[in-house]
Copies of this chain bind each other. A is one copy, B any other.
Amino acid sequence: MNFSNKLIEIITDYAESKNVDITCRLVGSMAKNTSLMGKSDIDIFMTFPLTYSEDKLKEYGLEFGNYCIEKVGGVPEIRYASHPYTTGIIDGYEVDFVPCYKISDSSELKSAVDRTILHTDYIQSHMTEDETRQVLLLKKFMGSVNTYGANYKVSGFSGYLCELLILEYHSFENVVYHAANHWHNRYRIDLEEYGTSDKFKDPLIVIDPVDKNRNVASALSMQKFSEFIVACRNFLSDPKKDYFRDRVISVSGDDLCEEFRKRGTDCYVLSFNVPDLPDDVIYPQINKTMNSFVKVSEMYDFRVIENSYYIDSDNIAHIILEYEFSRLSNVKIHNGPQIRFHENGVNFKNKYPNAYIRGNKWISISERKYTSVPEMIENIVKKENRSILKLGKNVKDEITENYVLSSVFDLIDEENNEDYEQLFMHLFPDYKLVR
């Protein structure tokens, strides 16, 4: 009897002793034989009849999970998805015990986790043994070209999406061939021919076989969609085994300095602590924050040539803002009303006494608000009407109170390998797409 079955037996026995009618199931990639070694959790779902209230479901779910983990010598911990569940490390595996309802199709869905059962059923009943091996190849490839994972940080392909691609195309090679040659924005895959793909506007539309109103690829960004297509083209033009291994970044501080010097840009790094919250809460906020800095910079005429961000292992976020120049003239052209609007012209001239005529309108060479990037950032963060800058709500305080703005060369001077890798990826974003 394997490990999962043993855990299921413990829980089932305990539930029976409590007169609770549940069925336990191993779900997810473990159940589907599509998990990559060393990468997967054991997901055990406890399915309750629809007659149980949600409160009872949560209460029993946590109790049974705790019991089982303690029984086999682990330390239980409560986590929250759409409802709370118990997790623990047992024998080196992360095991999740999730309570859910016993449903037979998507019309009975009460929460997102209930759907996992339907997914597991669908894959188990439709996938051949060879196809499960093709899924492993695809996941490995996706992982090493950095397009695997539906979490916000990656915004790539989920495991279930990889499985559906194999069901559609039958083999890894065929997926790669089609992606490389046929995929385009809003490409549609509809295994059960529901005909519901019209309502989606995502880069890739893969209708969920167990829920015709859901696009399995909705979390996939245009960026990762494009990157996967290009990685597939790269692979086909020179199909090396290396495409199934992570590409290691090895770069020295001197190399990085040299590269930034060659670019001749003014590259700043804005750093601040981030609170210890789940990645899917924090990453979107840092991304939004970065985009806002870029937008405001351009508004003040500082052109951004490239930008990126990362959160390091000390929970410090770094937003890299690389500018074409960091100093501007003290003045700029301020466009005024047309000469024919007498009254407006008078007001403009009163406001800008140096205003003069250019063609058929008033202009003024008037003082620029900010003439350097550090001055602009200091002011928009600390003094300006905040509404101009859109900061993530959980990082706002840390930024406004404790941000540090450094030149990229100062960051390089700190000789931190983690920073080096991220700076390297900032300079060479396609590095992992090719071998």
Chain A residues in the interface with B (C-beta under 8 A): 180-181, 184-185, 203, 222-223, 225-227, 229-230, 233, 262-266, 301, 305-306, 323-325, 327-333, 339-340, 342, 345, 354-361, 365, 371, 428-430, 433
Contact = CB atoms under 8 A, between A and B. Distances in A.
Contact of A226 (B181, B359, B365): B359
B359 A223 contact: yes
A428 B181 contact: no
Contacts of A358: 223
Contacts of A180: 342
A266 B329 contact: yes
- Copies of the protein in its oligomer: 2
Given A222-B359, A356-B428, 6 more contacts: A203-B360, A223-B357, A223-B359, A262-B331, A305-B329, A355-B430
Summarize A's interface: helix, strand, loop or mixed. Answer: mixed
A245 to B, nearest CB: 21
A342 B179 CA distance: 11
A333 B322 CA distance: 12
A230 B429 contact: no
Contacts of A331: 262-265, 305
A305 B222 CA distance: 38
A383 to B, nearest CB: 21
A230 B345 contact: yes
A269 to B, nearest CB: 17
Given A263-B330, A330-B263, A331-B264, A185 B340 contact: yes
26 contacts: A181-B342, A185-B360, A225-B360, A226-B339, A226-B359, A226-B360, A227-B357, A230-B339, A233-B342, A233-B345, A262-B330, A262-B331, A263-B331, A264-B329, A264-B330, A264-B331, A265-B331, A301-B324, A305-B331, A305-B333, A323-B329, A325-B325, A356-B429, A356-B430, A357-B429, A357-B430
A325 B329 contact: yes
B264 A371 contact: yes
A333 to B, nearest CB: 6
A265 B366 CA distance: 12
A10 B339 CA distance: 52
A29 to B, nearest CB: 28
Contacts of A223: 357-359
Contacts of A222: 359-360
A226 B340 CA distance: 8
A354 B433 CA distance: 12
A184 B265 contact: no
A257 to B, nearest CB: 14
Contacts of A342: 180-181, 233
A301 B325 CA distance: 11
